[in-house]
Amino acid sequence: MERVLLHTCCAPCSLSCIDPLRSEGIEPVAFWYNPNIHPWKEYQARRDCLLAYAPTIGMEVRVQEDYGLKDFVRHVAGDIDHRCAYCYEHRLEGTAKYAAEHGFTAFTSTLLASTYQNHEAIAAAAEMYARQYGVEFLYRDFRSNFRAGNQRARELGFYMQKYCGCVFSEADRYQKQIDRDRAKFDAEEAARQG
């Protein structure tokens, strides 16, 4: 059975990828490399959920521990609205490099399962780094499995994140609540002064 390095952003997304790969005779080896995930408790919850789940299905996990808050913010601070390009490229470069250095002939990513991510940008970044590091990018469109994978993750009691990963995506996720809270407190302040 061919082994492929599967960049894994979280256990729930992995459920959209593992069975389809195994049905093709491909054994995924999960690779945890996500210096984009913040704050620490979120990073830890996602990593530990993957580490707890993988042994139950006989999947190997490789961990490249890198809680990269400062480095990530340094790279995206000048253009926060376009941070995802850096995020995809940084993680996929790390995956391609790890694959090449550790004897894998190919890699792929659970990022290709999300219906919320820029699928084309992910694939383009992966292709670029596959060429650079001399490994194959195993392209698969896992998005058709996304909803079923998330449902299975809920059934298994997985930690289910509420946002993509970085603190900026967390703010985006909760922006409506932030705006409602601001309006509420502004109205209360106006009433006090009125």
Query: Residues forming the annotated binding site for [4Fe-4S] cluster?
Result: 9-10, 84, 87
Going from the C-alpha of 117 to that of each of 77, 132, 148, the distances in angstroms are 20, 23, 17
CB neighbours of 58 closer than 8 A, spacing ≥ 6?
none
Q: Detail the residues annotated as belonging to a binding site.
A: 9-10, 84, 87
For the chain, where are the E strands, in sequence order?
A: 2-7, 26-32, 61-63, 106-109, 136-137
CB 109 within 8 A of CB 6: yes
